Each structure stands twice: as structure tokens, then as C-alpha cells.
Structure 1
Amino acid sequence: MRLAVGTELLAQALLFDMDGTLIDSRLMVETLWKDWCDAHDVDFDWVLPQLHGVRLADSVRRFTPPGYDVEQEIRTMYDIELHSTDGIVPIKGALELLASLPEDRWTIITSADQELARARLAVTGIVPPPKMVGGDDVKEGKPHPAGYLEGARRMGCAPAQTLVFEDAVAGIRAGQAAGARVIALATGHPGEIPEGVEWIPDMSALRFVDVGADGVRLRVVA
């Protein structure tokens, strides 16, 4: 369900996914994985719907055919992703929204590890928040709720007091499993947003209103 203009959102903390929510790395990631699939004789059309929102290592372990050194495959793919930042840009409205928010009321929960997340954020002009949770900070990646549970803990509130912003099904499921209210972003996977999940087109649809004892208040504007 698309959120109507004028809808107000209230939470003690805002937990943002990174890729597809704050930054657009879709083309770069899909190009790298298409090359990997071609080199390993894996059907990219099968891999693609299961790719986004999941930790790189988890994906490599899942899709690597028998006979390959999986740990070496992870290291190789990671090195390629770490040094492939061309074409990564902020999602529409992300810079403006983040700049308007109180710094102690939001953080990022990403499947990328801390090093990779910081490399991608650096090219978009987004300063990594001090309480950011990377894929290397938790034992289980999305769709497991561990990242969002850890994010709520670091922000000093219960998961039910947070708003989660996600674009991929794995992340949406992770936020839901954590007990948070989840707002989906129709930035890259609009046809995959599960039925009944609230959504907005991108970050330009949100405005910061105010912050008080009851939390941070946002309003849907488009």
C-alpha cells in the first residue's frame, strides 16, 4: 500500500538499509554478478531475484557450483566489489533527508560489511553514522532480523519503536521479523514488494517535521 500524501510517521529511531534505499548500486552489482554467473556457468536469471539485500558471502556460498573453492570465490568477489564504485549515486532525496535529521536518531543497517559500506557511502557524500551495523557485525544476515535487532539496541530503543526503510524482500522480511514497522522503497524492486507492506517511491517522498519526547516525526509529501 502506497502511503498517502500527508501521512505522518513517528519513531524513536530510523533504521535505513543502504543499497537501494539510500544509494543506488544496482547496475554495478548486477553487472558484476552477471559476469560471475557467465564465468561459472550459472543462470543469472535464477540468481538475480535472490541477490539483492543479502550479504555477499551468503550469496557466493549459495550460488557457487560444486568444484570451486568457495572461500576463494568470496575473497575474489569481495575485492571486485570493494573497488567497483563507478556509477554508485545517492537515491533521489536521500542526501536531503539525512541532512535534515537529528544525527542521533538514525543509522544504517546494511548487508555490506563495514569496509564495503564505507567505500560505497564515500562516493555518494553520505557520512557513515557512528552506530552503523554492517553484515560483519552480526552472525546471521538478512532476512534474519539480527541486523535490525542490533541496530535498535545500538540506538537505545526497542525494535517496535523503530522505523525500518528497505527496498529488497530479504530486508523487508528482516525488519518485520525484528518487530519494526517497515516502509518499503520502490526504487529497484517495485514488483517484489510483498502485499500489505507500506511503501513510498523514494526518499524524496519524506520530510522531517520535528523531534520530541515521542520520537522523530516524518511526513509523506509525494
Structure 2
Amino acid sequence: MPINADYRGPAELPEVIPVFPLPGALLLPRGQMPLNIFEQRYLAMIDDSLRDGHRLIGMIQPDAAHSPDEAKPALFKVGCVGRITQLAESGDGRYILELTGVSRFEVVQELSVLTAYRQCKVDYFPFIDDFTARKGEDDVDRAALLAVLTDFLKANNLKVDWEGIDKAPNEALVNALAMMSPYGPPEKQAMLEAPDLKTRAEILIAVTEMDLAKKRTSGDPPLQ
């Protein structure tokens, strides 16, 4: 999805960004994530990001395995910053918005701040390839990805827009399927931290194959 801002490299993004910890949420570069914002601290975060002009929010998962403080859980070290590309007011105090992913980042340091929402100093340079659209597409095994998608759809009695999938370039296809996948925080984090698109697709395929095998063995019902 095109966006008005043209981010050509890490230097064009702020070193300090607000972060939105959300378990199971996966945002990837050039992917779109809808959000329903209702907590006061995150409403303030959206207001501040618009007021500051950068319109950027860092999506990151809480690290439940290393979180002694439930009120302020530890964060994974890698997240993805997104730009607010759509925003609507609900009329009952909520924001309905869409983030478009820009680049992944590593958390350098969480800052002590006066805001109710959390802020981190981050580094985008480890993911400099994120600024090049469709990088590594030719290395993706599209046939294997579509095969496992077909098996997943059949196992769960789901339908999909195959015409749209056929037209989607590999980057959009891999990232959309990864973001929409029904897996937990560890699997989502592994896909986020994948070094390239090919590896992300391979992780998605492996996780899906394991999930399908587990369902066949256990007789679990399909997704509803």
C-alpha cells in the first residue's frame, strides 16, 4: 500500500518512538494492520503521534516468558514501526485506524517517561533491507506456500479469494499470510525476526504443517 511518506532508510525515522505492546500482533513492512484503540493511554499515544507529525507507532509483543511485572510486561527485543495511514473516530471515544508497516527495529532501551504509554529508543539499521520493497521475492518457494495454504483451508473449511492471491506478489502474499496466521506469540515473533522473506515463508510453512499434523493426530475440530 503506498503511503505519503517516503522512508528511504533508517535515518529518516525517529530514534525514539511510542510502542504498543500487543500479544499475538504481527506487523511487517508494507503490511496493513487494523487497530481498535479505546484505552486512554493509547488514545493519548495516537494524539501525540499525530501532533508530533511523524504518525508512527511501534508494534511489539510482550514477552510473557520474562515478565515478572504483569502491569508492565517485558518486551521482545524486535518490533515493527508502522505509520498511521487511515484514522476514523467511532463516535463513542474510540479510534479505528490502520497502520502500514515501515521497518522492523531492535529495542535499544526503554525510556523512563511521563506519558502513560511506553516509549523506546530503537535501532532500524539491523533491518535496512526492509526499506527495499519486494527484496528477496524470487527466493520464495511460492508453490510450497500455496500448497500448505490449500491444506490449511481444507482442514478448517475456509475459503479464500484465489484470484487476489494469484495476483499478489510474493512479499505481499508471505507477509499477509504471516500477519493473519492464527499462531501464538512465539511463532509470530519467529516470523517477525526472520532474516529474509524466504526464511519467513519457510517458518510459516513449517508452523502450518506442524499445526495440521497435530490436528490430524489429535482430532481437534477445525477453526471456527
TM-score (norm 1): 0.25
Structure with a larger share of its residues in strand: 2
Higher radius of gyration, 1 or 2:
2
| Higher RCO (CA-CA < 8 Å; seq separation 6+) | 1
TM-score (norm 2): 0.25
